[in-house]
Amino acid sequence: MAERLAGKRIFLTGAAQGIGLAIAHACLREGAALFLVDRDAALLAQSVADLNAPDLNAPGRIGSASADISDRAAIEAAMAQASASIGPINAVINNAGINVFGAPLESSDDDWQRAFDVNVKGAWNCCRAALPAMIAAGGGAILNIASTHSFTIIPGTFPYPVAKHALLGLTKSLALEFAGKGVRVNAIAPGYVQTQKTLDWWNSFPDPAAARAATMALHPGGRIATPEEIAMAAVFMISDETPFMTAACLMVDGGLSTLQHG
Ligand SMILES: NC(=O)c1ccc[n+]([C@@H]2O[C@H](COP(=O)([O-])OP(=O)(O)OC[C@H]3O[C@@H](n4cnc5c(N)ncnc54)[C@H](O)[C@@H]3O)[C@@H](O)[C@H]2O)c1
């Protein structure tokens, strides 16, 4: 069967673990070349070594750099390095993100700054570093990993959902600005996913097992997503299988956000 991402050269952030690492595996399987970015240098090196395992047939298709996406200069440098190592970037997956959760009136300026620096400005830094070459080449694809928090609010998680709403705004805005240049800009909104971030969230409660059970009970199917299930959607959105889809956000939440509690 033809590889669905043959010819894609993808700049992928937050690739060292969780959803990002699952996306890396899925994109490699589908024939893409990848440039992986994460601020955790040690974990990134380990993940790159795993992805270079002989059975994954990846030699020559993986480059990487440790960088903080909120640092514009570091991302400009990483994009130049990406282009030199795997060729001009024609796809960006903005996956890196952080939880900053609290009560609005107890949150600090620093909380607000961190939430927006990583979850919004970080994605914008990667987009603006990649867009000139994409436009010059006649097009490209950008995918932002948003969240159900881009639509609805869980009280006590401020300002994370404010930033995730803004990431959706960035998605729509860039989609319209660059539609005439052949660049598609879309988002995926995962619900809860089995990652370290979700474990940390459960562990922040006095009774983590009860918190986990409560999360499962919210879901019509009684379970949350695996990172691989989000990666499957990412492959579809970044591929050429959906050429007229732009400014869209695909919900991948097991029905969570459609359920009305009676
Ligand atoms: N896990 C979930 O339930 C869930 C649900 C909806 C949306 N999301 C979103 O999916 C994305 C990935 O989440 P995850 O659960 O896999 O997270 P994770 O914490 O497991 O992994 C995130 C990775 O991003 C890296 N990272 C964080 N900040 C960075 C920065 N400033 N620069 C470079 N790298 C950075 C981390 O080092 C880490 O390796 C995030 O944007 C998150 O908001 C997650």
Q: pLDDT tens digits, residue range 174-221?
A: 999 999 999 999 999 999 999 998 999 999 999 999 999 999 999 999
Q: Which atom of ligand 1 is nearest to the CA of 118?
A: 31
Number of the ligand 1 atom closest to the C-alpha atom of 68: 32
Classified as helix, coil or strand, 66 is strand
Query: Domains of the chain: which residue ranges?
Result: 9-190+226-251, 194-224
Weakest-pLDDT range from 50-59, 82-91, 185-194, 213-222: 50-59
Rounded distance between C-alpha atoms, residue 147 and residue 19, angstroms? 12
Distance 95 CA to ligand 1 centre (A): 6
Percentage, residues of the chain above pLDDT 70 = 100
Asked if residue 92 lies in contact with residue 11, where contact means CB atoms within 8 angstroms, the answer is: yes
Q: Give the Å distance between the CA of 13 and the centre of ligand 1.
A: 9
In the chain, at which residue ranges do the beta strands (DSSP E only) sit? 9-13, 33-38, 62-66, 91-94, 140-145, 183-190, 249-252
Token couple for 8: 């894609």
237 neighbors 250 (Cβ within 8 angstroms): yes
Q: Which residue CA neighbors atom 42 of ligand 1 most closely?
A: 97
In our burial notation (b when 16+ CB lie closer than 10 A, e otherwise), range 81-95 reads bbbeebeebbbbbbb
* Rounded Cα distance, 182 and 160, in Å: 31
Query: Quick one: pLDDT band at residue 227, thresholds 50, 70, 90?
Result: very high
**Model confidence at 54: pLDDT above 90:** no
Inter-residue contact 168 to 150 (CB < 8 Å): yes
Q: Which of 87, 84, 184 is nearest to 131 (CA)?
A: 184
Q: Is 96 helix (H, G, I), strand (E, B) or coil?
A: coil
Centroid of ligand 1 to alpha carbon of 14 (angstroms): 6
Is residue 124 exposed (0-12), middle (13-18) or buried (19+ Cβ within 10 Å)? buried
Tell me the pTM.
0.98
Q: Which CATH number fits domain 9-190+226-251: 3.40.50.300, 3.40.50.720, 3.30.465.10, 3.40.50.620?
A: 3.40.50.720
Do residues 128 and 114 lie in contact, with contact meaning Cβ atoms separated by under 8 Å? no
Residue with CA closest to ligand 1 atom 24: 14
Which residue's CA is minimally distant from atom 1 of ligand 1? Answer: 193
Pocket test residue of 23, 39, 149 for ligand 1, highest count of atoms within 8 A of CB: 39
Q: Which residues are catalytic?
A: 160
pLDDT over threshold 90, residue 53: no
Q: Which two tokens stand for residue 162?
A: 């404010």
Ligand 1, pocket residues at CB < 6 Å:
13-14, 16-20, 38-40, 43, 68-70, 95-98, 118, 122, 145, 147, 190, 192-193, 195-198
